[in-house]
Amino acid sequence: DGGITQSPKYLFRKEGQNVTLSCEQNLNHDAMYWYRQDPGQGLRLIYYSQIVNDFQKGDIAEGYSVSREKKESFPLTVTSAQKNPTAFYLCASRSDSREGPQHFGDGTRLSIL
Amino acid sequence: KQEVTQIPAALSVPEGENLVLNCSFTDSAIYNLQWFRQDPGKGLTSLLLIQSSQREQTSGRLNASLDKSSGRSTLYIAASQPGDSATYLCAVRQTDRMDSNYQLIWGAGTKLIIKP
């Protein structure tokens, strides 16, 4: 079945540590996104990528980094510069059709040790 | 700047009732509006997508309407069931930004509980 796989489901970060969240899709979608979800708030866009080897900052990119070396993969690194990383992180993808909805993975919950 | 609001933040109704969830947006220059469902600890599932030229979309017991001039959309759920319990989010895609093809503006969601 086609879909988006995020791993791990739960992740714990120590002080000063960088951690990387995985996102893989087999939908052959061009665009991929990373969102952060906090309780009582809407999703906020961290980074997005429209095509391989290209990505753009979203509204809250500070303290995060991404890469897009392959069409199916869009990993997110939460760096030590992100002082409040505890949140639910969602990865999504979409075909290049303007009418298409975004498809989401099941998320990664990141907590501070 | 576009803002999307969903009121109420939470709603609890008995099984079998028809109900309406609300979504309002401040800038009517939207390309489309989508409704999503999110189960606890899970990702989002797209329910309905309404293009700016459309007034409503239907899927099974769900009906979504769009009134751009008033900046409102509603999600109508008929004959609610306990399995409908989830958080429902709406999101709009703008038309006035170069990168609007790739970004959505999200509401905070309405948490719906259907009591058996």
Rg over alpha carbons for chain A, rounded to the nearest Å, is: 13
The chain-wide mean pLDDT, for chain B, equals: 92
Chain B residue with the nearest C-alpha to that of A43: B106
Residue type for position A6: Q
Is a pLDDT exceeding 60 seen at residue A43?
Answer: yes
Q: What's the confidence (pLDDT) of residue B99?
A: 55
pLDDT (tens digit per residue) in B89-98: 999 988 755 5
Q: Are B4 and B23 in contact (CB under 8 A)?
A: yes
For residues B112 and B35, give the distance between their C-alpha atoms in angstroms, rounded to a whole number: 14
Which candidate, B50, B18, B19, B36, places its Cα nearest to that of B86? B36
Q: Which residues of B touch A99 (CB under 8 A)?
A: 32, 49, 51
Which candidate, B81, B68, B55, B61, places its Cα nearest to that of B24? B68
For residues B79 and B9, give the distance between their C-alpha atoms in angstroms, rounded to a whole number: 21
pLDDT (tens digit per residue) in A20-38: 999 999 999 999 999 999 9
Q: Tell me the average pLDDT across A81-95.
A: 92
Nearest CB among A40, A92, A101 relative to B49 is that of A101
Q: What's the confidence (pLDDT) of residue A40?
A: 80
CB contact (8 A) between residue A101 and residue B34: yes
CB contact (8 A) between residue A99 and residue B109: no
Q: What's the confidence (pLDDT) of residue A16?
A: 85
Nearest CB among A56, A104, A109 relative to B44 is that of A104
Residue % of chain A over a pLDDT of 90: 73
Is a pLDDT exceeding 80 seen at residue B100?
Answer: no
Q: Helix or strand or coil: residue B84?
A: helix
Is a pLDDT exceeding 80 seen at residue B86?
Answer: yes
Give the residue from A35, A37, A74 with the most B CB atoms within 10 Å of its CB, the best one to mutate: A37
For residues B81 and B61, give the distance between their C-alpha atoms in angstroms, rounded to a whole number: 10
